[in-house]
Amino acid sequence: MIKKVILLTAIVALLISFYLLNEITDKFFVPSLDAISHRLKMSDDAAGATLMAAGSSAPELFISIIAVIYGGDNLELGVGTIVGSALFNLLVIIGAVSFVRDAKIAWQPMLRDMLFYTLAIGALYWAFSSGIVTIWHVIGFLALYVLYVVAVLNWKRVFPYERFVFEEEEDDEDPSWKKYMRLLDYVIDWIFGKPERFLYNFLVSVTLIALLSWVLVESAVVVSEAMGIPKYIVALTILAFGTSVPDMMSSVIVAKQGRGGMAISNALGSNIFDILLGLGLPWSILIIGSGNSIEVYQSNITSHIFVLLASVVGMFGIFLLTRWRVNRIVGTIFLGAYVSYLVYVIMQAV
């Protein structure tokens, strides 16, 4: 009985933490980063590839940091969340966007992001193939991301394309389930200041996101132990799903506005950030802090890295066949691929 109560408490904690992470990131963290980028007079491309990417990927990044601090086999929680989130972003978000409305994708930025995403997957396999992550792996990850930012800033000069226009989205009427969350919303609004106090909001956001990420990791460990499921399976599915669903919902809204190409491009760019910085930064903290390399459990994750590679290769082939257009047929293929992946993961857990 006590075990069931603990499991139920952990599941409730997961759900509430997912909701709070989404609200804090969307309403306060991302706007504060946007204000900081304007204060620093950063270009739209530079801000999008750095600060705004950090905003959309904040939950995955902080979960990875908390997992690194815990150490041991808990490292799988961070890696699993990022790998699972990457697959969700690629297959489910693109699949959902394809169902909403047919879209023509600007191939120039998409080709750039697919290239760097493939390199990021290669870097991930490089780090896991030996079972030991060293400072050289970390340097490689961070250097590749710097190269990606440079490419973002200069790509349009080489391959001209129409810039995506980021517009402020007006929220429709809140869904009925949100009325049950009003108390939490009131507390959040009370904690945070006015939008003009962006530095204060930034610091409070970082603190709360870190705290909620800790709750997520703790809850995931409880669920894993109570149900006898390997931690990396929980990360690949539950944590990845919970941190990525808000991005999917916002992408669907953008697609309804006729900007499906932008949503797809953002999903791919987010994956690059997740792998290179979402893992590179926490690993650098651990290696520099301890002075030792990191032992990773490559047997659990390596097969999923190959799934990542297969997904991006398959996506490239599909886009070539459709001439960089997405429709319901494409959406069905992508969503079907993700369902197949979930079946594969569940079979591993059984």
**What's the Rg (C-alpha) of the chain?**
20
**Cα-based angle 334, 340, 345 (whole degrees, multiple of 5):** 125
Place of tokens 């079907």: 336
Indicate the CATH number for domain 2-164+171-349.
1.20.1420.30
SS3 string, 1-25, reads CHHHHHHHHHHHHHHHHHHHHHHHH
Q: What is the largest CA-CA distance in the chain?
A: 64
CB–CB of 43/28 below 8 Å?
A: no
Judge whether 82 and 64 are in contact, CB under 8 Å: yes
Q: Is the dihedral of CA 308, 145, 277, 243 positive or negative?
A: negative
Distance of alpha carbon 175 from alpha carbon 187, whole angstroms:
19
| Structure tokens, 267 | 């999903």
Q: In degrees rounded to 5, what are phi and psi of residue 163? A: -70, 140
- Alpha-carbon distance 155 to 73, whole Å? 40
CB 69, CB 218: distance < 8 Å: no
Q: What tokens does 172 get?
A: 């429709």
Q: Can you tell me the distance from the alpha carbon of 318 to that of 326, in angstroms, rounded to the nearest whole number? A: 9
Question: Using an 8 Å Cβ cutoff, are 331 and 98 in contact?
Answer: yes
- Reading the chain (350 residues) residue by residue, the pLDDT tens digits are 777 888 888 888 888 888 887 788 777 877 887 788 788 777 655 666 677 677 777 888 888 888 887 777 677 788 888 989 999 988 998 888 888 888 788 888 888 889 999 999 999 999 888 888 899 999 999 999 999 988 888 877 777 766 544 444 444 555 554 555 666 667 677 677 666 677 888 888 888 888 888 888 888 888 888 888 888 888 888 888 888 877 777 777 777 777 667 677 778 888 998 899 999 999 998 898 888 888 876 656 788 899 999 999 999 999 999 998 888 999 999 999 999 998 988 887 76
